[in-house]
Each structure stands twice: as structure tokens, then as C-alpha cells.
């Protein structure tokens, strides 16, 4: 599998201190699973007591079985945060920007159960990136299949349980069809499937002469002073992604992108990193209007993946709207297809959805 170096988490308070106010806030992802967050300069996590209370809350969440998280009352995540018994400074300065990043939902309208799953995963594990980029996993999967199995660049126009109609190769017959697409494409091929609302996301990549941070860290804007929700020196995690002789900084804008995107983002990044960004070169900006399916309460974390024998659908719109949710729905769909074909899966399916 691809190497996945871990990433710590930093928050920026409203008033820049040294290095733009970058405040070290290691949770599970920055240290040991369930580790206690700490703040190098007392902001934005508050006093030592506040930090200890946050660490204890995350440790309790990490130890809570998923089935108990899913039995909690379901509210919008933003409202549920206020009921956690933590100081408002901690909630607003750490939990809210962290959850916004994990869920791609700046308004935190997501189901509190999905938010709890995201925090549960954060408290138990680490943030990471696959070496070689997002294509590494599907490329590894495809490489394990017989030559000629995977066809790309083929446009599908219709699907049924025993056939796929394509624009380039006509009709292909089969014993079953598993549709693994985004929610809108799935509904176009299988009318009647629900199309949810979406959260738009813009990812901006800059080539930078020197790294603005010395360590792999996800930098969150606790005060929401600009368009960037979070940013990282990605080449600290995976050096193969950077242009020769430079480093790669990738930043994420949640919601509609601002006008004059590059200038506005660089101005915000200058404040977050505490360094001039005039020499930063824009490599690419990718805006996806329907990037992440919304998960307002009540949210069904296990939408059916088996529509009928021989016809299956998977994607982040069938579980939680995360990479983990998409992978989990794919496993559920694969197990359903194997069962219909009379093939026993090599691995048993977990009884509950995995965390966001």
C-alpha cells in the first residue's frame, strides 16, 4: 500500500504571534492515537485546564464504541458542539475549524452523528496522505487485475443488471453491474436515486521557494479571517508532489470561491503562515461545485447499495460523505455482489459503518 506519513494539526488564533500565530495543536493525528492536544502559546485552545479538558473529551470519544455514537440524539453538528461542556474558546478555536475541515462543511450543518464519527477517527488515528497522490490506490488495485480488465475513456449511457451500454463500444453483457460514481452521475444512469445537496470545495496549489513551515502540519484558520479553511506544505509529507527545487503548498477553500482567487488566497496565506507570499506561483486551482454530499440530520449512514440482484451502487452518497465512507460503501456493494454470485468474501464486513 502507499506510504502514508502522518500530519500534525495547527490552529491560527485571531492575533498573529510569531510565525503568523501558528499554534501547535496535536490531537490524535499529530501524536499517539487519543493523544492530548496542546497549545504552544496558549491560543486558541485556552488555558492548561481547557487543554486538559479537551484532551479528556477526545480520549473519551476515542474509547466510545461506534454503536454508542450512532445512538446519540441527532442534531446539526454546530448545535451539538455547544452541548459538549467545553469552553467556547476551545470549541470555536479548535473543534469548529477542525470539524469544518474534516467534513468540508463550514456551516457545520452536518449530522452530529457523522461529526462524532469524524472526531472519533481523528482522536484514534492520524491524518495522512497517500504517497504518489490520490491516484495511487486505484492504480494499485488496477495493477492487481488481469491485463485488459480496466477500460478508461469509455462513456456509459445506460446500465441494467445484465448489460452496460456505452457510446464507444455499444452494449456489453455481464452478470452484474456495480455503479461507482458521484451521486448526480448515479442518478442520471439510475433514475430514482436521491441527489443530495452538496458542499463546494476549491483546492489551490502553489509552488513556493522555501517551506513556510518546518514540519508536516495541517494549518487551520480558527478565526475564519479569509477564504482558506486549511492549508499544508504537502511536499513535507510527499516530496514527489513538489516541482523541482521548490515546495508545494496546497490550500482548501470551502464554499463559493472568492473573486480574484489567487490574490485573495495568497493574502490570507501570508497571514496564516506569517511570511510574504509574493513569490508564490499558482500551479492550479480546482473548483468542484458538487464536491461533497451534504449530510444534514437525519442522515442515513447506510443507504442501500444493492438495488436488485445484479445491480449495485456505491459512493460517498451511500454512507458518510468522506473517502472512508466511499470505500466502506464499495466494500458493502462488493460483498452484496459476491453474495448474489455465490462467492464467499475473503474478509467479513464490519457490523457498523467506519468513521468519517
Grid cell at residue 25: 495543536
Q: Which of 240, 261, 291 is the last residue of a domain?
A: 291
Last residue of a domain, one of 128, 143, 171: 128
258 and 313 share one domain: no
- The CB density around residue 276, as the number of other CB atoms within 10 Å, is 10
Flag whether 18 is in a domain: yes
Cβ-based neighbours of 259, under 8 Å, separated by 6 or more? none
Closest CA to 131 of 233, 30, 283, 241: 241
Looking at the structure, tell me whether residues 122 and 227 fall in a common domain: no
Confidence band of 48 (pLDDT split at 50, 70, 90): confident
Residue 12: is its pLDDT beyond 70? Answer: no
User: Does some domain include residue 350?
Assistant: yes
Structural domain count, the chain: 3
CA distances (Å), origin 220, targets 156, 192, 226, 235, 276: 40, 39, 11, 18, 18
Report which DSSP code applies to 170.
Answer: E
Residue 104 lies in a domain: yes
- Is a pLDDT exceeding 60 seen at residue 316? yes
Residues 71 and 121 in one domain: yes
Do 104 and 11 lie in a common domain? yes
Model pLDDT for residues 267-310, shown as the tens digit of each residue: 999 999 999 999 999 999 999 999 999 999 999 999 999 999 99
Q: Is residue 122 part of a domain?
A: yes
Residues 227 and 307 placed together within one structural domain of the fold: no
CATH number of the domain residue 210 falls in: 3.90.660.50
The mean pLDDT of 179-198, rounded to a whole number, is: 96
Residue ranges making up the domain that contains 304: 300-356
Phi, psi of 34 (to 5 degrees): 75, 10
CA triple 305-310-315, angle to 5 deg: 30
Tell me, yes or no, whether 250 and 353 share the same domain. no
Kind and range of the H or E element at 90?
helix 88-90
The reply to whether 190 falls in a domain is no
Amino acid at each position: 500500500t502507499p506510504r502514508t506519513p502522518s500530519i500534525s494539526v495547527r490552529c491560527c488564533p485571531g492575533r498573529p504571534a510569531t510565525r503568523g500565530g501558528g499554534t501547535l495543536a496535536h490531537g490524535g493525528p499529530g501524536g499517539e492515537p487519543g493523544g492530548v492536544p496542546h497549545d504552544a502559546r496558549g491560543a486558541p485552545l485556552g488555558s492548561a485546564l481547557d487543554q486538559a479538558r479537551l484532551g479528556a473529551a477526545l480520549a473519551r470519544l476515542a474509547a466510545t464504541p461506534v454503536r454508542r455514537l450512532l445512538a446519540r440524539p441527532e442534531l446539526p453538528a454546530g448545535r451539538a458542539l455547544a452541548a459538549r461542556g467545553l469552553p467556547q474558546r476551545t470549541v470555536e478555536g479548535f473543534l469548529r475549524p477542525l470539524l469544518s475541515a474534516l467534513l468540508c462543511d463550514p456551516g457545520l450543518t452536518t449530522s452530529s452523528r457523522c461529526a462524532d464519527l469524524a472526531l472519533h477517527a481523528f482522536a484514534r488515528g492520524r491524518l495522512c496522505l497517500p504517497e504518489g497522490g490520490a491516484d495511487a490506490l486505484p492504480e494499485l488495485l488496477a495493477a492487481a487485475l488481469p491485463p485488459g480488465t480496466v477500460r478508461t475513456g469509455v462513456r456509459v449511457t445506460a446500465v441494467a443488471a445484465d448489460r452496460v451500454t456505452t457510446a464507444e463500444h455499444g452494449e456489453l453483457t455481464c452478470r452484474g453491474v456495480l455503479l461507482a460514481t458521484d451521486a448526480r452521475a448515479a442518478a442520471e444512469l439510475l433514475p430514482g436515486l436521491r441527489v443530495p445537496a452538496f458542499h463546494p470545495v476549491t483546492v489551490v496549489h502553489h509552488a513556493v521557494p522555501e517551506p513556510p513551515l518546518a514540519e508536516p502540519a495541517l494549518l487551520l484558520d480558527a478565526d475564519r479571517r479569509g477564504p482558506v479553511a486549511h492549508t499544508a506544505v504537502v511536499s513535507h509529507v510527499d516530496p514527489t508532489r513538489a516541482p523541482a527545487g521548490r515546495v508545494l503548498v496546497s490550500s482548501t477553500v470551502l464554499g463559493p470561491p472568492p473573486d480574484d482567487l489567487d490574490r485573495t488566497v495568497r493574502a490570507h496565506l501570508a497571514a496564516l503562515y506569517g511570511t510574504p507570499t509574493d513569490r508564490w506561483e499558482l500551479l492550479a486551482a480546482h473548483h468542484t461545485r458538487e464536491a461533497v454530499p451534504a449530510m444534514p440530520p437525519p442522515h442515513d449512514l447506510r443507504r442501500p447499495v444493492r438495488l436488485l440482484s445484479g445491480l449495485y451502487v456505491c459512493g460517498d452518497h451511500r454512507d458518510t460523505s468522506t473517502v472512508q465512507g466511499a470505500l466502506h460503501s464499495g466494500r458493502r456493494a462488493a460483498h452484496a455482489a459476491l453474495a448474489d454470485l455465490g462467492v464467499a468474501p475473503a474478509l467479513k464486513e464490519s457490523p457498523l459503518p467506519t468513521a468519517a
